[in-house]
């Protein structure tokens, strides 16, 4: 059984995405092979009007969905930092949910602590530990950059562990 998972790390300035392919060997359950397909970011400039920034996210997310054709999307849940940045992330997250709804794509959400726990075994792991786990799990020579893309891959991997 094969499943393509797209991980998203929502943000208004930078939205990270990471796509993985999971192949479950029916003869060796629960063994699953996970391969990275690609990763990247969608950027919007603070110099651009808010409506245009959200339109860019909307259009570019549709392009990403078209390119990867995911079976499942995994999203990092909103985490509260400062109120102003939380509102901006919430707006970007709304665009993500809208695009998924339009495409009738199922999605799962994970808190930062759930992602850290899944990848490192420790819910309070620091960012570098999570990034190292992503590189190790996907057999990469180096940690994916920028951080937002590595975070999106971490979300996708967390979803793959629940297959």
Instruction: Examine the residue annotation and report whether 139 is marked as an active-site residue of this protein.
Output: no
Instruction: Examine the residue annotation and report whether 76 is marked as an active-site residue of this protein.
Output: yes
Which of these is catalytic: 60, 76, 137, 151? 76
Which of these is catalytic: 60, 137, 148, 151? 148
Which of these is catalytic: 9, 60, 137, 151? 9
Report, in angstroms and rounded to the nearest whole number, the Rg of the chain calculated over CA atoms: 15
Long-range (24+ apart) CB contacts under 8 A made by 42-51 are: 42/14, 42/15, 42/17, 43/13, 43/14, 43/15, 44/12, 44/13, 45/13, 46/13, 50/91
110 backbone dihedrals φ, ψ, rounded to 5°:
-135, 140
Instruction: Examine the residue annotation and report whether 148 is marked as an active-site residue of this protein.
Output: yes
**Contact, 115 vs 75, CB < 8 A?**
no
The set of catalytic residues is 9, 76, 148
């Amino acid at each position: 059984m094969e499943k393509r998972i797209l991980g998203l790390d929502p943000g208004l300035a930078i939205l990270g995405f990471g796509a993985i392919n999971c192949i479950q060997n029916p003869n060796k359950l629960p063994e699953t092979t996970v391969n990275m397909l690609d990763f990247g970011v969608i950027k919007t400039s603070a110099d651009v009007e808010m409506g245009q920034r959200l339109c860019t996210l909307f259009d570019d997310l549709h392009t990403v969905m078209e390119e990867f054709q995911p079976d499942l999307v995994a999203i990092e849940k909103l985490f509260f930092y400062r109120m102003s940045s939380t509102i901006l992330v919430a707006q970007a997250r709304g665009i993500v949910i809208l695009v998924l709804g339009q495409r009738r794509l199922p999605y799962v959400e994970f808190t930062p602590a759930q992602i850290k726990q899944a990848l490192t075994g420790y819910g309070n792991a620091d960012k570098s530990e999570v990034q190292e786990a992503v590189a190790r799990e996907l057999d990469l020579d180096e940690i994916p950059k920028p951080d937002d893309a590595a975070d999106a891959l971490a979300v996708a991997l967390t979803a793959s562990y629940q297959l």
